[in-house]
Amino acid sequence: MKIGVLALQGAFLEHAQMLERLGVETVEIRQLKDFQQSMSGLVIPGGESTVQLKLLHDLGLFQPIREAVNHGLPVFGTCAGLILLARHVVGDEVERLATIDMTVCRNAYGRQLGSFHTQHVMAGIPGEVPMTFIRAPYIQAVGDGVEVLAEVDGHIVAARQGHQLVTAFHPELTADLRVHQYFLNLIEPR
């Protein structure tokens, strides 16, 4: 199994390290030729969604990634990745990948000082999962076919639609491998 990690900006290295700890080969996606190789899934990391979106367009990656996800490529988006995959973002009508039927509030927890860490349950993972939120979004609403996996303080912070997984938090910034393993299980169920 090989997983592509979008390496344009954000915490891509940490995702690659988590996947490698799980015995999975990774490839950094920096340009179109990187994305054209065979892979089992894609991770879109946190970072700054506006910058990532601009780079996706500038590098010719936007449409190929959208088409691949719409045709079944499993994808895991964290924080900014969640925003890029959302069909709707409150107060922002910029075209994004829009592959998951959800409405998202950007920077919902405020500025950098509003960042926090907690532990909470996430469906499909036993016990509590460590969750680090950095200027995080949350999911305001989901459409048909979207499964809510976790909520914190009444806000949806993890969801799944088919082969797509999103979290408002950064599991790559903890030592806990279970969220990444959950994504791998979407690709190859145990």
The catalytically annotated residue of 14, 79, 105, 180 is 79
Helix H or strand E segment including 175: none
- In this structure, how many other beta carbons lie within 10 angstroms of the beta carbon of residue 47? 21
**Which phi and psi angles does 85 have, rounded to 5°?**
-85, -15
The catalytically annotated residue of 14, 105, 172, 180 is 172
Determine how β-strand 116-122 pairs with β-strand 125-133: antiparallel
Has 105 been annotated as catalytic?
A: no
**Type of residue numbered 115:** S
The catalytically annotated residue of 14, 15, 105, 170 is 170
- In this structure, how many other beta carbons lie within 10 angstroms of the beta carbon of residue 62? 18
Helix H or strand E segment including 188: none
Show binding-site residues for L-glutamine: 47-49, 106, 134-135
Has 172 been annotated as catalytic?
A: yes
Which of 42, 48, 58 is CA-nearest to residue 80? 48
- In this structure, how many other beta carbons lie within 10 angstroms of the beta carbon of residue 36? 10
Has 170 been annotated as catalytic?
A: yes
- Tally helices (H) and strands (E) across the chain: 6, 12
Instruction: Tell me the catalytic residues.
Output: 79, 170, 172
